[in-house]
Amino acid sequence: MSGERATQRKGSLPRTIRAVAWSFIGLRKGSEYEQDLQKINPIHIVIVGLLAVFLLVASLIALVNWIV
């Protein structure tokens, strides 16, 4: 049942990106966190989170190569 509710959630891409970005920083209001739990699809969070990690690692590698 919880899987059905998760797939029925409709969250926008900018809202998902904003939630993942705030998670990377570690700062988030409790009320906004609760809204995200209700509105954002968990699958979208996983996909955007993996892309964000990839971009972070790629940018760090590029920065190190540029410095060295």
Q: What domain range includes position 30?
A: 2-67
pTM of the complete model? 0.70
Cα atoms in the Cβ-side hemisphere of radius 13 Å centred on 31? 0
Residue 15: what pLDDT?
85
The tens digit of pLDDT for each residue in 17-51 reads 888 888 888 777 777 777 777 888 889 989 999 99
The secondary structure of residue 10, as a DSSP letter, is -
Instruction: Give the residue carrying structure tokens 């009320």.
Output: 31
> Does pLDDT of 9 surpass 70?
no
Q: What pLDDT was estimated at residue 30?
A: 76
Q: Within 10 Å of residue 19's Cβ, how many Cβ atoms? A: 22
As for how many domains the chain has, the answer is 1
- Spatial separation of the C-alpha atoms in residues 34 and 62, rounded to whole Å: 36
Sign of CA dihedral 12, 15, 20, 21: positive
